[in-house]
Chains A and B, each alone.
Chain A
Amino acid sequence: MNPHPDFRQYLAQRQTRRTFLGRTAQGIGSLALAALLNPALLSAVAAERKEKWPGVVGSLHYPQKVKRIIWLSMAGGPSHLETFDYKPKLARMHGEPMPSSFTQGKQIAQLQGQKLLCFGPQHGFKPFGKNGTTICELFPHIGSVIDEICLIRSMTTEAINHDPAHMFMNTGSQIAGRPSMGAWVTYGLGSESEDLPGFVVLTSLGQGGQNQPIAARQWAPGFLPSRFQGVHLRGKGDPVLYLGTPAGVTHAQQKDVVQTINTLNAQYDTIVDDPEIGTRIVQYEMAFKMQTSVPELMDIRPESPATLALYGCQPGDGSFASNCLLARRLAERGVRFVQLYHKDWDHHGGVKEGIAFKAREIDRACMALIVDLKQRGMLDETLIVWAGEFGRTPMSQGGDGRDHHNAGFSIWLCGGGIKPGFVYGATDELGYSAVENPIDVHDLHATMLRLLGIEHTKLSVKFQGLDVRLTGISGDAVTSILS
């Protein structure tokens, strides 16, 4: 049995350092002593032990099509019937009872025990792009890049309430405590960023007021080491919690404090010879660097007016569009997994106005992200996923809304390794169940890992006696959508 990679790294690390310091367990080598008296050398000690996580997947299982993922989580559950799945028959049956043949034996959320009536699409649809893909006319910007997009109209999920459904979409399990996909990916492949976390999360609110809560567990590392947790970059206050130096302490003073801490820790290490100390020194350097790199990253003022206009955002507006622009900046800096939550899709009521709000908030921004990545030559090495945690019922709720729905909904993918301008799968004629090429969350995860070069059955961690993986015990990569 081979030792775990963590363990291998641990051994290697100790070896490297001992060689470098020329130290024995009993005494301090001369180089080490010199390092203690000379801060520049101390940094060299730390640099030698730079902890850039290489990932556990040594040699990739498939050719890597994309280096990173930008996951646009449309939180609340977007209606597929007012976005990407046109159902003229549902319009014709508007107000009529939903045939029970569609709903029998299926999970129902708030409409439990109520009369189920068909509710036609609330907005018009029209064809876009070379293939004339029909999507809702509220999304002309996405329509303008529809030839770059692979639209999936046959998505399904197991969960039907927000919290468990987010958990399922993020971790492949409805039980709390499993690693989020961003953590899995960073664990598997490592990060290419020196001074930013490998997994970053951004959130934005919608104007409609249906902002469902999102728990921090959605980006938690679960049973993977904590270093793989998603770091939430916040729009207000410190972008990273506790990033700001205390009032009355200058950046230079903070540097002196950190330097002194590291020197004293290195001095202590000569006595107890504890590998954790070296790691801690590196973490303090990383933390200090983040105090500069993160604010620099978050400041979009240096972006050209043309870019800001493309996204339709203003510095500091905290919008989804701003977050899309930040996602591009994170991608440029080597961050492996960027997840954007945009809330307010939970249209139990007022779906007509609600979707119009959402279209204004996301339509241009999604297009801009695709166009911007493409013009910078990064689109073909990035996978963009647009997906809610579930869809919405073809039946009305309260006469002007739609309930949660998990039997069929729409998502889209865009970027490297994906068939562009392609539509995959379909729901039935009323938009209830995915009937043609249905895919589930595990399939989606398997596909995403495949594009990163990973066979999903081979990325696992022992937990409670099982080889646990992101895809649970099932999942098949959807090869028909791969280019």
Chain B
Amino acid sequence: MNKLRCLLTRGGGFLALVLAVMSGAAEPISYNRDIRPILSDNCLLCHGPDQKTRKGKYRLDVREEALAVGALVPGKPQESKLIARINAEKPTERMPPPEAHKTLSAAQKQLLRDWIAAGAQYEKHWAYLPPVKPATAPGRNPIDTLIGERLAKVRLQPAPPADRRTLARRLYFDLVGLPPSPEEVEVFEKDQSLEAVSRLIDRLIASPHFGERMAIGWLDVVRFADTIGYHSDNPRNIWPYRDYVIRAFNENKRFDQFTREQLAGDLLPGSTREQKVGSAFNRLLLTTEEGGAQPKDYEARMLTDRVRAVSTVWLGQTIGCAQCHDHKFDPIRQQDFYALGAFFADLEEPIIGRREPGMLVATDAQEAELKRLDEALRRAQEEFDAPRPEWQAAFGAWQVAQAEAVTRQRQAAATNAANAKNSTSGLPLREIADLLLIPAAQRDQKQQEKLYAHFKSVAPETAEAGKQLASARKARDSYEESIPHCLVSQTNSHPRVVRVLPRGNFLNESGEIVQPALPAFLVPPGSATNGLRLSRLDLANWLLGPDNPLTARLVMNRLWKQFFGLGLSRVVDDLGAQGELPPNQPLLDWLACEFRDSGWDLKRMVRLIVSSEAYQRSSVATKELRTRDPLNRELAVQSRWRLEAELVRDNALAVSGLLLDRIGGPSVKPYQPDGYWENLNFPVRSYDPSAGPEQYRRGVYVWWQRSYLHPSLLAFDAPTREECAAERNRSNIPQQALVLLNDPTYVEASRALAARMLKEGGSEPKSRLTWGWRQVLDRAPRPEEFQTIQALLEKQLTEYRADPAAAQALLKIGQAPAPAEIDPAELAAWTNIARVLLNLHETITRS
């Protein structure tokens, strides 16, 4: 969980209160907004959906039951037992009971009282109702209309638009994950027209780096990684899936199709190679090669892993809670959990042990080349197999000579065992020797063929043709090996039997057998399956179908977080009762409907969001805003946050000029401290950093070792992707300082940036510093900044001039050679200047 979320989860009711007070208007009590969170958090464990933990004789989440026992008497709080119990003097009477460690505040008690007075009306949980698209006036971005309505209601004044430089950097980081060049910013600053903004947005959304940026969040939530996760944490062939995701975002693959391909790409009629690679989604889970792992144990782990994944990625439900029991807060039965898992029981895969190499993922050119090599191999084989009179003749002579030699050798062996031992060299193997001793006429065809084949493998006459055959085979095989492979989904017509596991215990096989089924609480009763077993494709189709109110909201909520730093509903992985009713539900619902109505057009939604005034506002909040809406739930202002781990890296490589911005390919290995993998075993692992330009690829391509994620990414809160992660921490810890100060990646980038300051920044310290500032921050240094940095520069220059060896040592860090034409002392001093620039808070902040 996110630190921010940690902070928010308890702060929410408080915030609702603050806003309710500041809005001044007494809004009618809403069950979903005001009452459900109180009941859910304090009462439902014992008076809720799970029959096993239900201690009360009735449920409070079902109105009829609460009325029947008199817990609620609509309109008459004084007669309602609920009110009596929460206010009871005696601890034995009082609810919630002391052992629950829950306390209702006075405000909460008052809300319950008012709600009963107003008739104790219930509502279905907001996220289970279909989203309704609010009407918005034409001519204005509906996002701004809907935010504006809230702002007017709570009487908050929105912040002014961000300045052009900030906006350009924000759009670049959010849409492509790279910084703009100073020249681009300069042009953008000069052209203050609205068209300039929309042109920039269009250009960035069309950039091939858009897919890389969008992929980061998706790869987190689906838990993409290069290794299996458990125990030995060995590699598996999976990276083509990462490139599939990048391509899908770049091509604006419609989200419904994107979903179908990942869950069931292999089941689509006439499925393409690309669609099958998409289906690698089903193989992203953790697996083990540990000796002694029990298949039943891991079958259960894999099922639960997949259920958690589908519910996190597409449903935003904590269905994982129903592994051992019915859900405590949401109407999810244990059976729903296993029935959802049963959709994946058809997947062909080893439960324990090494994964298979997977499907060949060749480009057209590679496929053509492979075909050519296949053909060459076939020809060489033909050549070798063709009847040839000259070989036949030689074969005759060879048989005679060899038969004699064998006979001689055997006689000698009979008389002198020691001699025989010494004279066996140059003679055929025993099996062949035996054949040679059978007279040719008495050999059957098989024996004769065997002998001929052996002859061809040793005879000088056939050597040339044999060599050609061998080299054709080697060429073909090694080429095939060089082509990427990817684990994909393959269906088995005999799916594994799935049972409900009582208390999640895999040793207990007494549970009922379940068939694949959609979660009962979301599917209208009586949905017929005509007796057919539902497939993964059915699941995918239902997820994007009209009956599912969750997916569109969930995906839009996560997308919103990418652009505003916080979801509209702040708990981005739970739209259930323990999540949060979004303060601006009309906006989330509008986005969800628009997304669906647009035919699941993600680029359209991104464009709508970043084109809004709300997105383009300044991120500097006034004192009033900060006091009245400290967590910025009303979006009167933009937010600022530290860049994602991958982008911290990308930014440093980009501004230093080292970045190789090629799209896709095998994962790469940045420099890593020696011994970081020392605790990996089976086998012991060595780490070889990528050589040459591959060293300077973007963070999204970094080798994702689940049990030891690259420490520079880990320090900046990249998740290990052992579990689906819908959001990341945004921490601020000393390890981040150590990475930016001392990791060779950043020292080398600093040196490259320093060389550019010296070469491209003119000849004066001032112009060079200004050049560097513009390169890193797209602005000139302010006078006080200039003073501060100049003092450091002068000191460093003096020190390195006095110690050339130190300068040389610093310049040696990293693979890229230092330019020989620059004075080492000067370059070393400037390298430390560049280190300062790459370490600045502003440099690693999206504002």
Q: Which residues of A contact B (CB under 8 A)?
A: 1-4, 6-7, 10-11, 24-25, 36, 105, 107-110, 112, 160-164, 174-177, 203, 211-217, 220, 222-227, 231, 234, 236-238, 240-250, 253-254, 256-258, 260-261, 263-265, 267-268, 272-274, 276-277, 279-280, 283-284, 286-288, 290, 348, 403-404, 457-458, 461-466
- Whether B318 contacts A213 by the Cβ 8 Å rule is no
Contacts of B442 in A (CB 8 A): none
B456 within 8 A of A: no
Chain A residue at minimum C-beta to C-beta distance from B674: A237
A11 to B15 alpha-carbon distance, docked (Å): 13
Contacts of B812 in A (CB 8 A): 247-248
- Whether A240 contacts B290 by the Cβ 8 Å rule is no
A11 to B14 alpha-carbon distance, docked (Å): 13
B124 within 8 A of A: no
- Whether B807 contacts A248 by the Cβ 8 Å rule is yes
- Whether A226 contacts B717 by the Cβ 8 Å rule is yes
Chain A residue at minimum C-beta to C-beta distance from B618: A272
Tell which of A1, A107, A203, A265 touches B10, judged by Cβ atoms closer than 8 Å: A1
A392 to B431 alpha-carbon distance, docked (Å): 49
- Whether A227 contacts B10 by the Cβ 8 Å rule is no
- Whether A213 contacts B233 by the Cβ 8 Å rule is yes
B293 within 8 A of A: yes
Segment with Cβ contacts to A, from B185-193, B377-385, B387-395, B833-841 = B833-841
A7, A174, A276, A466: most-surrounded residue (chain B CB, <10 A): A7
- Whether B573 contacts A110 by the Cβ 8 Å rule is no
- Counting from the closest, the 6 A-B pairs by CB-CB distance are A465-B578, A248-B810, A109-B292, A223-B1, A215-B707, A248-B809
Nearest chain A CB to B220 CB, angstrom units = 12
B84 within 8 A of A: no
B517 within 8 A of A: no
Contacts of A109 in B (CB 8 A): 291-294
Tell which of A24, A212, A244, A274 touches B742, judged by Cβ atoms closer than 8 Å: A244
Chain A residue at minimum C-beta to C-beta distance from B727: A223
A213, A234, A273: most-surrounded residue (chain B CB, <10 A): A213
- Whether A4 contacts B675 by the Cβ 8 Å rule is no
- Whether B729 contacts A225 by the Cβ 8 Å rule is yes
Nearest chain A CB to B243 CB, angstrom units = 26
- Whether B742 contacts A265 by the Cβ 8 Å rule is no
Tell which of A162, A216, A458 touches B709, judged by Cβ atoms closer than 8 Å: A216
Contact A213/B707 with A11-B630, A176-B722, A272-B640 known, Cβ cut-off 8 Å: yes
A226 to B294 alpha-carbon distance, docked (Å): 34
Chain A residue at minimum C-beta to C-beta distance from B812: A247
Nearest chain A CB to B728 CB, angstrom units = 10
B756 within 8 A of A: no
Interface range, B side = 35 or more
A6 to B4 alpha-carbon distance, docked (Å): 9
A163, A265, A288, A348: most-surrounded residue (chain B CB, <10 A): A163
Tell which of A163, A214, A273 touches B290, judged by Cβ atoms closer than 8 Å: A163
Q: How many A-B residue pairs have CB under 8 A?
A: 283
- Whether B734 contacts A105 by the Cβ 8 Å rule is no
A226 to B579 alpha-carbon distance, docked (Å): 22
A-B contact pairs, 5 of them (CB 8 A): A234-B675, A261-B840, A462-B578, A464-B318, A465-B576
- Whether A247 contacts B813 by the Cβ 8 Å rule is yes
Contacts of B301 in A (CB 8 A): 174
Contact A287/B105 with A260-B789, A280-B841, A465-B321 known, Cβ cut-off 8 Å: no
B762 within 8 A of A: no
- Whether B711 contacts A213 by the Cβ 8 Å rule is no
Contacts of A287 in B (CB 8 A): 734-735, 737-738, 741
B675, B735, B807: most-surrounded residue (chain A CB, <10 A): B735
Nearest chain A CB to B562 CB, angstrom units = 19
List 16 other contacts, CB 8 Å, given A161-B292, A164-B230: A3-B11, A4-B7, A109-B291, A176-B286, A177-B722, A213-B707, A215-B233, A226-B717, A226-B729, A234-B678, A242-B712, A249-B806, A250-B799, A276-B845, A462-B578, A464-B573
- Whether B8 contacts A246 by the Cβ 8 Å rule is no
Nearest chain B CB to A433 CB, angstrom units = 15
A222 to B723 alpha-carbon distance, docked (Å): 10
Chain A residue at minimum C-beta to C-beta distance from B230: A163
B507 within 8 A of A: yes
- Whether B290 contacts A161 by the Cβ 8 Å rule is yes
Tell which of B6, B14, B101 touches A1, judged by Cβ atoms closer than 8 Å: B14
B680 within 8 A of A: yes
Nearest chain A CB to B175 CB, angstrom units = 22
Nearest chain A CB to B772 CB, angstrom units = 13
B128 within 8 A of A: no
A261 to B795 alpha-carbon distance, docked (Å): 15
Nearest chain A CB to B441 CB, angstrom units = 53
Contacts of A224 in B (CB 8 A): 1, 6
Contacts of A7 in B (CB 8 A): 7-8, 10-11
B720 within 8 A of A: yes
A29 to B739 alpha-carbon distance, docked (Å): 33
Contact A465/B318 with A161-B288, A242-B741 known, Cβ cut-off 8 Å: yes
Contacts of A348 in B (CB 8 A): 291
Contacts of A283 in B (CB 8 A): 732-734, 736-737
- Whether A176 contacts B813 by the Cβ 8 Å rule is no
- Whether A462 contacts B9 by the Cβ 8 Å rule is yes
Nearest chain A CB to B105 CB, angstrom units = 6
Chain A residue at minimum C-beta to C-beta distance from B810: A248
Contacts of A264 in B (CB 8 A): 785, 788-789, 836, 840
A227 to B717 alpha-carbon distance, docked (Å): 10
B494 within 8 A of A: no
A226 to B662 alpha-carbon distance, docked (Å): 32
Interface string of B281-306 (1 = CB under 8 A from A): 00000101011111001000100000
Interface string of B663-682 (1 = CB under 8 A from A): 00000000001111011111
A24 to B12 alpha-carbon distance, docked (Å): 27
B847 within 8 A of A: yes
Chain A residue at minimum C-beta to C-beta distance from B304: A175
B110 within 8 A of A: no
B320 within 8 A of A: yes
Nearest chain A CB to B1 CB, angstrom units = 3
Nearest chain A CB to B800 CB, angstrom units = 8
A119 to B782 alpha-carbon distance, docked (Å): 77
A464 to B576 alpha-carbon distance, docked (Å): 9
Contacts of A164 in B (CB 8 A): 230
B828 within 8 A of A: yes
